[in-house]
Amino acid sequence: MRRLLVAGAVVALAATACSSSDDRSLTVYSGRSEELIQPLIDRFEEETGIAVTVRYAGSADLAATILEEGSSSPADVFLAQDPASLGTVATAELFTPLSEEQRSRVPSRFSDPDGYWLGISGRARVVVYDSTNVDPSELPQTEDGFTDPSWSGRVGIAPTNGSFLAFVSAKILLDGRDATLAWLEGMAENQSPTFPKNSAIVTAVNDGQVDTGLANHYYLLRALAEDPEVPGRNHFFAIATAGSLVMPAGVGILASSQRTDEADAFVDFLVEDASQRYFAEETFEYPLVPGVPADDRLPPIETIPTPDLDLSLLATTLDEATDLVAEAGLL
């Protein structure tokens, strides 16, 4: 048995060693999960003949990894869930600017103003609520209403989650540090239950553990696809605040990449209409290329009130966001 294991291991090692000798290849660091993006990458490989090796991990992990690797990163392309991770790499000057043509595909508010990264799909911040316990008309106009004592213990948040921290970073930029800290303290005072991640909040709302929660819009649609009976519903804030932001997932090309043609082809591919339709239909995100419709259960992206915010600045307030969350006692 042991000899067999050793033999198997040697074969596997050998296979790993010889697998990267293809001529047309590309290494992608992806903060988007394998479940969501691999089918699209398979399609890219088929269409172009470029072999793609993907490293999947959290977006912030990969951003930190790229910073550690510096100019000798094996990655050619960085695909991230949130603007803060992309902004971190851009600030460290490790991205190369994207072409005008690529940038023109997506409205400028979803991309880096300096052209170092491009939004590829949108994720709206929403309130998920349990429709059996909560009447949507009771829900507040902005996230600030949730610090009211009537919501005590009824709003799930994920203070350690990347999307929530990006939202706090945005709130710092929009409302200032003091107002953000006051809001976080209000949520803490209200004994808001904390969860490790968005998906846990949506599950808890559907299970009746908590009445509402702050999450990204698409988790509920996936829960509905798995089980159409779940009672959760999405609520979009009516007033433009950090709580109604549409955060883009995006892509950038590493300045250290030796495979810029392949990397360009990959970025082009992600903003093709067909790929954008994939995001709408398979991951339930908002396509960002104009003319490609989102899932018809969602309000059109143009109708979501959006605060005026340069998303590339989110990276600058990310550490401060974690400080404030800790100061408010939510960690």
Partner 1 sequence: MTEPGSIVEIEIPAGVPAAPPGSTEQRRSHGPWYLWVISLLIVCVIAVPVTSLALRLLDATDAAWQSLLSWQTVRLMVRTLVFTALVTASATAVGVSGAWLLARTDLRFRRAWGVAFALPLVIPSYVIALVLISASGPRGLVADITGVDLPHLVGFPGAWLALTLSTYPYVFLITAAALQRVDPALEEAARGLGASPARVFRTVVLPQLRPAMGAGALLAALYTLSDFGAVSLMRFDVFTRVIYAQYSGRIDRSPAIVLSIVLVAAALIVIWAEQRTRGDGALFSRKPTRPPSVYRLTPWQRATGTTFLAATVAAGLVLPVAVLSAWLLRGLTSGIDVTIPFDAIAGSLTGASLAAIVAVAASVPIVVLAVRYPTGASNALERAVYVMFSLPHITVAIAVVAFTVRYARPVYQSLLVLVLVYAAMFLAQATGPAKASLLQIDPALDDASRGLGRSHLATMARITVPLMSKGLLAGGLLVFVTALKELPATLLLRPSGFTTLAVRIWSSADELLYTQAAASALVLIAVSVVPVYYLSIKPKDVVGV
The CA distance from 286 to 295, in Å, is 8
Residue 325 binds to partner 1 (criterion: CB under 8 A): yes
Q: How far is the CB of 77 from partner 1 (least distance, A)?
A: 12
Q: Helix count (H) and strand count (E) of the chain?
A: 12, 10
Q: How far is the CB of 58 from partner 1 (least distance, A)?
A: 7
| Residue (of 61, 121, 108) closest to 88 by Cα position | 61
Residue 107 binds to partner 1 (criterion: CB under 8 A): no
| Residue (of 242, 271, 277) closest to 163 by Cα position | 242
Residue 256 binds to partner 1 (criterion: CB under 8 A): no
Residue 43 binds to partner 1 (criterion: CB under 8 A): no
Residue 18 binds to partner 1 (criterion: CB under 8 A): no
Residue 313 binds to partner 1 (criterion: CB under 8 A): no
User: Considering beta carbons, is residue 12 or 238 the nearer one to partner 1?
Assistant: 12
Give yes or no for a contact between 128 and 205, defined as CB atoms under 8 angstroms apart: yes
Q: How many chain residues are in contact with partner 1, going by CB under 8 A?
A: 66
Q: How far is the CB of 139 from partner 1 (least distance, A)?
A: 22
Give yes or no for a contact between 232 and 202, defined as CB atoms under 8 angstroms apart: yes
Q: How far is the CB of 282 from partner 1 (least distance, A)?
A: 10
At residue 128's C-alpha, the angle toward residues 127 and 131, to 5°, is 125
The CA distance from 265 to 54, in Å, is 16
Q: Which residues of 34-53 are buried (b: 16+ CB within 10 A; e: fewer)?
A: eebbeebbeebeeebebbbb
User: Considering beta carbons, is residue 58 or 145 the nearer one to partner 1?
Assistant: 58
User: Considering beta carbons, is residue 178 or 207 the nearer one to partner 1?
Assistant: 207
Q: Between the CA atoms of 202, 136, 159 and 299, what dihedral angle is there, to the nearest 10 degrees?
A: 80
Question: What is the contact surface with partner 1 in residues (CB under 8 A)?
Answer: 2, 5-6, 8-9, 12-13, 16, 19, 27, 29, 33-36, 53-58, 60-61, 63-65, 67-69, 72, 74, 88, 159-162, 165, 193-197, 199-200, 202-203, 206-209, 219, 222-223, 225-228, 315, 318-319, 321-322, 325-326, 329, 331
